[in-house]
Amino acid sequence: MKTNDIILQTVAKLASLVILLFSIYIFFGGHYSPGGGFVGGLLASGAIVLLLLAYDLKTVAAILPIDYKLLIAAGLLIAVLTGAGALLFDAPFMTHTFSYFDVPLLGHTALHTAVLFDLGVYLVVVGVTMTIIQTIGESE
């Protein structure tokens, strides 16, 4: 008999969205409160894992057509280039800078290059976690 996962699937749809939003919140809050790229990335992959549990590998791959190995590479590239960007301004590697901008909706906000580094961390964490889970899930 075919089992029916309708409750799990419905809840997973809603919950994964909430988890993703929370992961973004945690990611941007990292500078002033506990959180940052690592936890945010883990939360985001947690949301995808929830979808994997509710559906299956093929469906999730169709929803999110991402090559997670490339995501790792992209994250690393962003992080390293953020660090290496300092070289262009004749500053030591990994020197960060920040400034205040008037962003629409958010108002007077500090934008820091460390966020870019953290974005790299975020992508790498999501990529690594999902690569591990996907390869273990796919292997017979």
Partner 1 sequence: MNNIVFLPVLLPLLTGIVLLFFSKSIKFQRVFSVLSVLAGILLAVMLVGKVHGQGILTLQVGSWEAPFGIVIVADMLASLLVLTTNLIGFAIIVYSFYSIGKERERFYYYAIFQFLLVGVNGAFLTGDIFNLFVFFEVMLMASYVLLALGGTKPQLRESLKYILVNVISSALFVITVAYLYSVVGTLNMADISRKIAKIDQPGIVTVIAVSFLIVFGLKGAIFPLFFWLPGSYYAPPIPIIALFGALLTKVGIYSILRTYTLLFYHDQGYTHQLLGILALLTIIVGVIGAVGYWDMKKIIIYNIVIAIGVIIFGISLMNQQSLSGSIFYIIHDMIIKAALFLLIGIIIKITGTNNLREISGLIKAYPYVGWTFFIAAISLVGIPPFSGFAGKLLILQGAVKAGSYIGMAVILLSSLMVLYSLMKIFINGFWGIPRAYPDADRVPVKMLLLPAVLLVGVSIVYGFGTEAMYPFISQATEPLIDPGIYINAVLKE
Binding residues vs partner 1 (CB under 8 A) = 69-70, 72-73, 76-77, 80, 84, 87, 90-96
- Residue whose CB is less far from partner 1, 6 or 88: 88
Shortest distance in whole angstroms from residue 88 CB to partner 1: 10
- Residue whose CB is less far from partner 1, 26 or 118: 118
Buried b (16+ CB within 10 A) or exposed e, 72-103: bebbeebbeebbebbeeeeeeebeeeeeeeee
Shortest distance in whole angstroms from residue 84 CB to partner 1: 6
- Residue whose CB is less far from partner 1, 84 or 110: 84
- What is residue 130's three-state secondary structure? helix
Indicate the length of the chain as a whole number. 140
Shortest distance in whole angstroms from residue 42 CB to partner 1: 19
